[in-house]
Structure 1
Amino acid sequence: MVDVLNIYLADKAPKHSDPSITKARVMTIAEWWGDKTLADVNGSTCREYVSHRTSQARKTAKPDKTGNPARMVTAAGARRELEDLRSAINYHRNEGLCSEIVGVALPEKSAPSEDWLTRSEAARLIWAAWRAKQKFGECITDRDVGRHVARFILVGVYTGTRHAAICSAAFTPAVGRGHIDTASGVFYRRRQGARQTNKRQPPVRLPSRLLAHLRRWERLGIAKHAVVEWNGKPVVSVRKSFAAAATAAKIDRHITPHICRHTAATWAMQRGANVWDAAGWLGMSPELLERVYGHHHPDYQHDVAERMSGQDRDRNAVNKRGLTAMNVTKTTEKTRNVR
């Protein structure tokens, strides 16, 4: 299995949006699958792997420093690793290095996350990142260390763009990077030269508030080479700094940079955005937007609710006015008979 994974790392991983993340996952896979063969891959061993991984703490967990219990690997995380294993095996077969079809059994997909930031939480998170200072032991310096994260959050919640696309965005077109055109107010999210994938990255029209910030950053040279940069260099990830900002903002649940995308979709629905337009803007299908975020829309099921609470004379055979008319007729007839 080691050969299968090494070929995948050499040929396919460099073409991914963040090869370092793919490499880290593949190395984790190799720790358990490395001494096995393709013949050992079946439903039983895949389930054993999921059980093994979900009993482990995440590598980023630092309970000794934080004082909090270590967060464990989730079934979704194990599934993502098995997806890489499946890709590596399929690539190995497609290259003609194996004639057998080997199936990888995946655990069921987790329900999509519905967590999002309120406007108050987003403001606290941005402010905490903006004020973050460098620490040396117990000593706090005057050096700013989180303002690039504040810029990331602003772009994330106002455009719903994925983490990697924001980190790779520049103010000038460049191969391998996305491009924000502040003159036209358009964010070209897909990296120049990159192929289209299932994760759609259509150009997005920038909201006026965000565009004002971006033009100021560009004009003042705050972000020279990239929208999100640290020490004058583009950053690959803001995950660690984002987690530190979340702690400083006293957000009492675990959140990742991807919550910015959930937040943008939720805010768009709460403001009554058209589902088709919002889906195109976010780069997702209208069906997915409706299924995951549609209940936030102010008109969600409004038409059905109104129809259920109203009275339709044509469909309701038992009608109050009709009953009244019938009663009057019968009373009149009885009166005539008495006379």
Structure 2
Amino acid sequence: MTGKPARPITPSAARRELEDLRSAINHHRREGLCSEIVEVVLPDKPLPRERWLTRSEAARLIWAAWRYREVQKGKETGRRSRRHVARFILVALYTGTRSSAVCGAALEPTVGRGWIDLDSGVFYRRAQGARETKKRQPPVKLPSRLLAHIRRWKDTGAAQSAVVEWNGEPVASVKKAFARTVIDAGLSTDVTPHILRHTCATWLMQARVDLWEAAGFLGMTVQQLEATYGHHHPEFQSEAAEALRRQKSDRNPVNKTERTPEKASKIVDFSRRAG
């Protein structure tokens, strides 16, 4: 007991736990250790999140982490205790990598961890020795500016063995410090570390990046990318919209015939005779 109120479990977290339970039961049955079939009913998948950061919001978040000074006894100190969060944000935002892989990224080949090759500028996201899962983690080429940052962190000792370190030790999670940084930046509390991945995908679409290239960069299929983020692309449904515009402008020319005074008088005469 910590004395703190219990945090509510989100529908997504509950579904993941039920999926784990179902997998364990199925494995148990396949091994012949279970004589009964136990069915685990999963709730519907939640709708995909639409939240992503604008460039100005991302800048505010990074600066809030970088400039933060630790407060002790109500006074600010000289300790910059959230700069590891700023490094996390930069890597997650500009590679679209999930938070666990960013926190697990070493700067040298390490068993059980992914790593960043500072010579070639490639981030090997999947941990060495780990099997590939549905959450694909292919290598990703680092943007040149991000690579320059990471090299500088290594040279200055800010990141000695891992990209995200606190007091010289790798950090397993930045969830709590990230949440406090979000508040300091004046952003809504729905901004979570995973939002950085959504933001990266959205920015790639807005920049008109080829779908195949973007999907490979993010580690997802083209179908997943198009279904979730395709509407952010400037060319989204543009051909359909243009076809309808052309159809409207190319209507039957009979309806566009100019009505001159002479033609108008003929119409009136015809109407009178018909009456």
TM-score, normalisation: structure 2: 0.87
Counterpart residue identity of residue 223, structure 1: A
1:179 aligns with 2:115: yes
Describe the shift of the 1:139–1:312 C-alpha distance in structure 2 as closer, same or farther (beyond 3 A): closer
1:135 aligns with 2:71: yes
Residue equivalent to 1:287:
223
Q: Matches of residues 119-198 of structure 1 in structure 2 within 5 Å?
A: 119-198=55-134
Structure 2: stretches of 5+ with no match in the other structure: 267-275
1:87 aligns with 2:27: no
Counterpart residue identity of residue 69, structure 2: K
Q: Confirm or deny: 8 A CA contact 1:61 1:71 kept in the other structure.
A: no
TM-aligned CA deviation for residue 84 of structure 1: 1.8
Q: Matches of residues 1-339 of structure 1 in structure 2 within 5 Å?
A: 72-311=8-247, 318-320=252-254
Counterpart residue identity of residue 183, structure 2: T
Counterpart residue identity of residue 253, structure 2: N
Q: Confirm or deny: 8 A CA contact 2:179 2:189 kept in the other structure.
A: no
The Cα offsets for residues 245-265 of structure 1, whole Å up to 9 and x where unpaired, read as 101111123221111101100
Counterpart residue identity of residue 240, structure 1: K
Counterpart residue identity of residue 299, structure 1: E
Q: Confirm or deny: 8 A CA contact 1:270 1:296 kept in the other structure.
A: yes
CA RMSD across the alignment: 2.4
Helix, strand or coil: the match of 1:106?
Answer: coil
Matches of 1:252 and 1:322, distance apart in 2:
53
Relative contact order: is structure 1 or structure 2 higher (C-alpha 8 Å, sep ≥ 6)?
2
Matches of 1:244 and 1:200, distance apart in 2:
30
TM-aligned CA deviation for residue 144 of structure 1: 1.5
Matches of 1:320 and 1:182, distance apart in 2:
69
Counterpart residue identity of residue 194, structure 2: H
> Mean alpha-carbon deviation: is it higher for 246-255 or for 277-286?
246-255
Helix, strand or coil: the match of 1:158?
Answer: helix
TM-aligned CA deviation for residue 79 of structure 1: 1.5
Matches of 1:191 and 1:77, distance apart in 2:
23
Matches of 1:74 and 1:60, distance apart in 2:
21
TM-aligned CA deviation for residue 191 of structure 1: 0.6
Describe the shift of the 1:110–1:60 C-alpha distance in structure 2 as closer, same or farther (beyond 3 A): farther
The Cα offsets for residues 205-239 of structure 1, whole Å up to 9 and x where unpaired, read as 11112111112112222201000011111111000
Helix, strand or coil: the match of 2:123?
Answer: strand
The Cα offsets for residues 177-200 of structure 1, whole Å up to 9 and x where unpaired, read as 111112111111111111111001
Helix, strand or coil: the match of 1:224?
Answer: coil
Q: Confirm or deny: 8 A CA contact 1:76 1:109 kept in the other structure.
A: yes
TM-aligned CA deviation for residue 60 of structure 1: 10
Matches of 1:242 and 1:101, distance apart in 2:
42
The Cα offsets for residues 138-187 of structure 1, whole Å up to 9 and x where unpaired, read as 23321121001100000011000011110111111111111111211111
Helix, strand or coil: the match of 1:187?
Answer: strand
TM-aligned CA deviation for residue 273 of structure 1: 0.9
Q: Confirm or deny: 8 A CA contact 2:122 2:141 kept in the other structure.
A: yes
Q: Confirm or deny: 8 A CA contact 1:177 1:191 kept in the other structure.
A: yes
Q: Confirm or deny: 8 A CA contact 2:183 2:189 kept in the other structure.
A: no
Helix, strand or coil: the match of 2:70?
Answer: strand
How many positions carry a matched residue from both structures? 260
> Mean alpha-carbon deviation: is it higher for 131-140 or for 100-109?
131-140
Structure 1: stretches of 5+ with no match in the other structure: 1-58, 64-69, 332-339
Helix, strand or coil: the match of 1:144?
Answer: coil
Q: Identity percentage over the alignment? A: 60
Describe the shift of the 1:62–1:260 C-alpha distance in structure 2 as closer, same or farther (beyond 3 A): farther
Q: Confirm or deny: 8 A CA contact 2:88 2:102 kept in the other structure.
A: yes
Helix, strand or coil: the match of 2:78?
Answer: strand
Counterpart residue identity of residue 169, structure 1: A
Helix, strand or coil: the match of 1:180?
Answer: strand
Describe the shift of the 1:61–1:244 C-alpha distance in structure 2 as closer, same or farther (beyond 3 A): farther
Matches of 2:205 and 2:74, distance apart in 1:
44
TM-score, normalisation: structure 1: 0.71
TM-aligned CA deviation for residue 92 of structure 1: 1.8
